[in-house]
Amino acid sequence: MRRVAIVGIGHTKFGVRNASLRELAFEAAREALEDAKLTIDDLDSLIVGIVSAEFAKMVSPGAQIAEYLGINPKGSMRVEAACATGSAAIRAGYMTIASGLSDLVLVVGCEKMRELSTQEGLEIMSKAADTKWEYSFCCTFAGYYAMLANAHMKRYGTTEEQLAMVGVKNHSNALNNPYAHLHKKINIDDVLNSKMVAYPLKLYDSCPLSDGAAAVVLASDELANKFEEPIWISGLGVATDTASMMTRESYTEIRGATLAAREAYKYAKVDPSDIDLAEVHDAFTIGEILAYEDLGFCKKGKGGELVEEGETEIGGKIPVNTDGGLKAKGHPLGATGVSQAVEIVTQLRGEAGKRQVEGAEIGLSHNVGGNGQYIFVTIYKR
């Protein structure tokens, strides 16, 4: 199998954007191609990651994006794995190159969430959980994560303050990321006093609904070595679990994340202690605490303490979500996994400015689909 590297990165401003899905995709693609000093003509194929075409009022959105990018008649397909779609798209791009089918692939993750009202958006997302057996209990995604939070608080003594600390840290990091949706410094009381969404999760424990896109150019090893600073995809792990909450074994971990991480570490031949920074799926603050534990940055149950001790801040033992995370940067569903890759590449190149993790060599992304049914863990090295 051939090695695969990222040789170009692009990212749109996340937020409420007066731009269509295809225009967002182009913004990110243009930046990635310019970064790699390439044109559309140089590419062999395109992978598009989008979670729900319903958000953008279309069916088969990948084709409309391929057309707007001018990739026709080259090959293209859309990939979907709920909120982990971006990472699935990168994995698909990796497979396309590793197999020898293509040498140079553009991966674009995008989502246009604000064309619709918040209520309409929440309804679409609800259908990413078990529609047959659980839909009628009117749970939301915040509700599913809240169930994990309550179970974790009961078993391990994790506190609402510790959850809040995740939000405070990520909002603080986002201040130094021009692409972030939210640029607002908050403190623990702001989180604790914000509107309850699903007990114990409050507004500032939750990510916003954002429009946005991110793109990476992937290259085979012989091509990648001609670029200035290729960043290698050195480990991939994927695992799945039930969409149905009723058939889960545990509510105090995302089991698939533990399994996917194990696979990725083995693939990359590294340990959790080798990771210099991580991008994790903090759609809700409890998600980041579970990620610390599932990824092995601390023992199960100790995630709350890890954030409280400041170890996941920039300058700590393992900086997490240096770009603001989903919480403050925003979570345009299909874009998120690609956006995580963009931040890690930026960090490993040493181009992250005020949020730079000094001397970062190895980065990890953790991207969770739905309420835990898809998990992709990807490890990147200089």
Partner 1 sequence: MIIIEFEAFSILSHTKVNDFVNFLEKGKIIGTICKKCGKKYFPSVTDCRKCLSNQFEWVELDNKGKLETFTMISVPPSRVQDYIPPSYNFNHYLIGIIKTNEGFRVMGWIRGLKLEDIEIGMDMKCKPLIFNRRGRKRVTIELIPLK
Catalytic positions are 83, 331
Find the shortest distance in angstroms from Cβ 285 to partner 1. Answer: 14
Choice from 45, 150, 220, 321 touching partner 1 (CB under 8 A): 150
Round to whole Å and give the CA distance between 183 and 173.
Answer: 9
Rounded least distance, CB 119 to partner 1, Å: 5
Q: Scanning the structure block, which residue is given the tokens 């692009």? A: 10
Using the rule CB under 8 A, which residue among 151, 175, 188, 270 binds partner 1? 151
| Shortest Cβ 199–partner 1 spacing (Å) | 4
Is position 123 an interface residue for partner 1 (rule: CB under 8 A)? yes
**Does residue 134 touch partner 1 according to CB under 8 A?**
yes
Backbone angles phi and psi of 377, in degrees to 5: -120, 130
User: Which range touches partner 1 (CB under 8 A), out of 19-27, 92-100, 140-148, 361-369?
Assistant: 140-148
Selected binder of partner 1 within 97, 147, 231, 320 (CB under 8 A): 147
How far is 347 from 276, CA to CA, in rounded Å?
A: 10
Positive/negative CA dihedral, 299, 301, 303, 306: negative
Q: Segment near partner 1 (CB under 8 A), from 51-59, 117-125, 161-169, 178-186?
A: 117-125
Check if the beta carbon of residue 104 is closer than 8 Å to that of residue 223: yes
Residue-wise burial string across 113-134, b where 16 or more C-beta atoms lie within 10 A, e elsewhere:
bbebeeeebeebbbebbbeeeb
Binder of partner 1 out of 176, 194, 240, 244 (CB under 8 A): 244
Question: Position 217: which residue type?
Answer: V
In angstroms, rounded to a whole number, what is the distance separating the alpha carbons of residues 123 and 211?
17
Residues in contact with partner 1, shown as a per-residue x/- string from 170 to 199 under the rule CB under 8 A: -------------------------xxxxx
Question: Cβ contacts of residue 375 below 8 Å, gap of 6+?
Answer: 84, 237, 238, 239, 240, 241, 254, 256, 257, 259, 260, 366, 367, 368, 369
| Binding flag, residue 210, partner 1 (CB under 8 A) | no
Q: Take residue 177 and report the two structure tokens written for it.
A: 């990321």
Q: Rule CB under 8 A: is residue 101 a binding residue for partner 1?
A: no
Least distance from partner 1 to the Cβ atom of residue 246, Å = 5
The verdict on 142 binding partner 1 (CB under 8 A) reads yes
Closest approach of partner 1 to the CB of residue 155, in Å: 8
Residue 170 Cβ, how far from partner 1 at the closest point, in Å?
Answer: 20
Distance CA(47)–CA(77), nearest Å, equals 5
Structure tokens at 105: 């692939």
The one-letter amino acid at 234: S
- Which pair of structure tokens corresponds to residue 132? 């047959």
- Binding to partner 1 by CB under 8 A, coded x per residue (else -) over 251-290, reads x---------------------------------------
For tokens 């793109």, name the residue: 215
Which residues bind to partner 1, rule: CB under 8 A? 119-120, 122-123, 126-127, 131-140, 142-143, 146-148, 150-151, 154, 195-199, 244-248, 251
